[in-house]
């Protein structure tokens, strides 16, 4: 999956769970390896947290520790992918993202002295400092999953559907075609071990799509977190 054979970093998880949102920020610098495990069986109604295990050093100065960022998420992290694909109904012509100010990832980038974090779909962008794979409107679930459970999957997009799985596929392609092209596994690992993998808010669009369906929001939450855990394992 997305982080297999890598080792990393600071990870921010923002999972929306009604009626409140919760944020868990894990600062681990750097992780040699990690595995994300569900706290209970995914079918359980109490499945509402993720455990992270890893081996890490005691280094704590984050300023300068990371020379690259790989970001994932939805509109709370997207810096241009939705607009560049021409797929978002809710963006005005020429508007790169669903807001006109800095996102949380911009403050993180600035704190790490990283000048820019271009969207993956930006043509001829300089990806030497990392890539932003996040996309406005992205869901945890795939279009096939939503269709199977008769949940609306056409709320945001004009000409296609993009889930978290899409971002993982983009990342894997970027690693093979750009970041690690021509490198052996050890060289690739050495080059990426100081990268920060930022997983921003993801899942609110699953809730929005479920509002007019017959499935419960609690079921959506449980399934979304279980599915995300499997994708990151």
Query: pLDDT of 54-65, one tens digit each?
Result: 333 333 344 558
Mean pLDDT, rounded, of the chain: 72
| 1 in any annotated domain | no
pTM above 0.85, yes or no: no
pLDDT score for 93: 54
In this prediction, residues 146-168 reach a mean pLDDT of 77
- Residue 5: other Cβ atoms inside 10 A: 10
Q: Which residues contact 114 (CB under 8 A, 6 or more apart)?
A: 66, 67, 68, 69, 129, 130
| 4 in any annotated domain | no
Domain count of the fold of the chain:
1
| 63 in any annotated domain | yes
Q: Could you write out the DSSP letters of every residue in 57-108?
A: -S----TTT-SEEEEE-STTT-SSHHHHHT-BTTS-TT--SSSSS--HHHHH
| 204 in any annotated domain | yes
| 177 in any annotated domain | yes
Domain of 222 in residue numbering reads as 10-232
pLDDT at 217 over 90: no
């Amino acid at each position: 999956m997305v982080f297999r054979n890598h080792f990393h970093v600071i990870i921010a998880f923002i999972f929306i769970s009604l009626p409140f949102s919760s944020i868990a920020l894990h600062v681990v610098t750097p992780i040699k390896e990690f595995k994300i495990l569900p706290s209970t069986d995914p079918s359980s109604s109490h499945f509402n947290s993720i455990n992270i295990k890893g081996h890490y050093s005691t280094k704590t100065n984050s300023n300068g520790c990371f020379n690259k960022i790989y970001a994932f998420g939805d509109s709370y992290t997207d810096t241009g992918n939705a607009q560049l694909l021409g797929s978002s109904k809710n963006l005005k012509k020429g508007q790169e993202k669903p807001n006109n100010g800095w996102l949380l990832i911009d403050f993180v980038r600035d704190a790490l002295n990283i000048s820019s974090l271009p969207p993956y779909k930006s043509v001829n962008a300089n990806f030497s400092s990392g890539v932003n794979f996040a996309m406005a409107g992205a869901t945890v679930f795939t279009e096939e999953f939503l269709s199977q459970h008769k949940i609306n999957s056409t709320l945001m997009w004009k000409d296609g559907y993009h889930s978290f799985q899409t971002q993982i596929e983009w990342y894997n392609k970027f690693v093979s075609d750009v970041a690690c092209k021509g490198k052996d596994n050890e060289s690739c690992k050495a080059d990426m071990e100081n990268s920060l993998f930022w997983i921003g808010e993801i899942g609110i669009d699953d809730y929005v799509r479920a509002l007019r369906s017959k499935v419960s929001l609690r079921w959506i939450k449980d399934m979304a977190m279980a599915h995300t855990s499997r994708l990151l394992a």
